[in-house]
Amino acid sequence: MSERLPGLGLGLDSDYTPAEPRPSAVSVLYRRADDGVEVFWVKRGKALRFAGGFYAFPGGKLDAADAEVPVRGASGEEAALRSAAARELFEETGVLVAEGAEALTPERLGELRRALVAGERGWGDVLRAEGLALRAEDFRAAGRWVTPPSLPVRFDTRFYLVEMPAHARAEWWPGELAEGAWVKPAEALARWGDGSALLHPPALHAFQVLGSFTDDADARARMTTPPYCPGYVAQRIEFQQGVRGVALETPTLPPASHTNAYVLGNGELLIVDPGASDVKQYAKLLSLLSGLKAEGFRPVAVVLTHHHGDHTGGARAVKERLGIPLWCHARTADRLDFPVERLLEDGEVLELAGDVPQRWRVLHTPGHARGHVCLVDERSRAAVVGDMVAGVGTIVIDPPEGNMREYLAQLTRLRDWPVSTLYPAHGSPIPEGPAKLQEYLDHRALRESLILQAVPPEGASLAQVVATAYADTPPLMHPVAERSALATLEKLMDEGRVREEALQYFRV
């Protein structure tokens, strides 16, 4: 993404309207072990629009038909949500929690599950035909979480604590889910700590509670009262230990509406890209930092990935409010109208003391902006990547500040570093970073091929090239596409494959 481009009329021109949360239900399936409990977790497929690549619990959105299934001991919405939880649990794990299910053979359960997943039979039909009944007591309320308003897809999710029936067997089937397995809470938290298992706040809180399991009632009471969660919306989002995100509404290019500010560290803290100039927005970041400071954390600097306004809008206010310095690359500093206390250079390491120390290596990654930098954690290989990639929308390469050749070279450099999870400025974190970077390289190569094909030997204007090469892009976005197309044409001219004369482009 980029800041709003001059004259295009694109960006944040009115108050952001959050998406309406969809009702959904999740089952936290556990079984008792000698030293506590084990929990069945799943890894969501990376292609899923919501929480792709994250670890979570079996669940999904409420279907209209779920309300038609009776649940003994519950009525109305409470019954419908438990019905949804039971259905999703069966679809995703093969565990059918219903009265009478113990009489079904594993083979019969497999047949019913396949028919349900394929849409060949309805949920109510499966239960009625097998003489099964759902009971509210099997799905015990264990909290409610609402997706933060910054995300384009939102859910109002009820969590249920479900003990594994003695007769059942959990089995993961490939499909929308990439993994499924039993895990001890301590192991899940250790993997969250080293960045190999990303967790959203509801899953993190559940594992923290279940790590000290004594009984069902105590666990549910603690799961139902998470800290920092007014109105069921998490105010602290720590995707992996020491990497916290705060989405701030900014004047950026659609479909993005927010810029992610990141708070890095487990003692000493770096604040990356406080991009909102609106005090109501950066106050959310300051509120988080105030709470962390009360717990003994210490902010040491504001760091900017680059100079665009949707990354720097609140930088001066935040650094002055906190009384800390600003760090960025020299080519970012010379584009700012406020002081910079430290110039970052390629290869240097920013060390953060704390319970788990961090070392963030600075990589100078020009292409989108001349002073663009990324930060890579030496322990987990997590990378705060600014506008190198986006979790929502696209990246604009806008000459003369943008340079396509440099941008592609830096994508390749990050891919080969290698990095792990990518933390972009816009959209959700991206697990399996090298695959996403290769996807970007492949996409740019394809687009370059289309642009070259759109340049005839007899010549064409930039607008004509874009109309042909970006035929798959809505015309409204063609002015934005022109900037990246121009960057690609400049690359092709450097390579001697295109020439320009009087604002016309000719294939050589």
7 pLDDT tier (thresholds 50, 70, 90): very low
Per the prediction, the chain carries an average pLDDT of: 95
503 Cβ contact partners less than 8 Å away, ≥ 6 residues apart? 461, 462
For residue 438, what pLDDT band results from cuts at 50, 70 and 90? very high
Average pLDDT over residues 471-479: 91
Region of 51 (left: φ > 0; alpha: ψ -120 to 50; beta: rest) is left
Contact partners, residue 479, CB within 8 Å, separation at least 6? 5, 8, 10
Say what angle helices 478-494 and 433-454 make with each other, to 10 degrees. 80
Contact 443, 394 (CB under 8 A): no
Beta bridge partners of 30: 39, 163
Residue 15 reports pLDDT greater than 90: no
Read off the tokens for 167.
């007769």
Other beta carbons within 10 angstroms of residue 446's beta carbon come to: 10
Percent residues over pLDDT 70 in the chain:
97
Structure confidence by residue, pLDDT tens digits, 443-462? 999 999 999 999 999 999 99
Amino acid identity, position 257: S
Cα–Cα nearest to 375, from 470, 277, 478, 243: 243
Q: φ, ψ for residue 373 (rounded to 5)? A: -130, 155
Query: 185: helix, coil or strand?
Result: helix
413-443 in b/e burial notation, b at 16+ Cβ within 10 A?
bbbebebbbbbbbbbbbbbbbbebbeebeee
Backbone CA torsion sign across 447, 452, 458, 462: positive
Structure tokens at 224: 């139902």
pLDDT single digits (tens) 195-243 = 999 999 999 999 999 999 999 999 999 999 999 999 999 999 999 999 9
Type of residue found at 105: T
Q: Is 41 left (phi over 0), alpha (psi -120 to 50) or beta?
A: beta
- Phi, psi of 386, deg, nearest 5: 55, -125
pLDDT at 297 over 70: yes
Query: How many CB atoms are located within 10 Å of the residue 165 CB?
Result: 16
Q: What is the pLDDT of residue 4?
A: 52
Residues 246-279 have pLDDT tens digits of 999 999 888 888 999 999 999 999 999 999 999 9
Stated pTM of the model: 0.94
Please give the sequence-ordered ranges of beta strands (E in DSSP) within 173-318, or none if there are none: 177-183, 238-240, 243-249, 258-264, 268-272, 298-303
User: Token match 């100078």: residue?
Assistant: 364
- State the DSSP string of 284-339: HHHHHHHHHHHTT-EEEEEE-S---HHHHTTHHHHHHHHT--EEEEHHHHTT-SS-
Would you say the C-alpha torsion 200, 427, 172, 125 has a positive or negative sign? positive
> Which residues make beta-bridge pairs with 144?
158
Rounded to an integer, what distance in angstroms lies between the CA atom of residue 13 and that of residue 35? 55
Pairing type for strands 342-344 and 373-377 reads: unpaired
Residues 236, 240, 243, 246, CA torsion sign: negative
Amino acid identity for residue 34 in this structure: D
Residue 166: exposure state from Cβ atoms within 10 A (0-12, 13-18, ≥19) = exposed
Tell me 62's DSSP state.
P
CA dist., res. 24 & res. 80, Å (int): 10
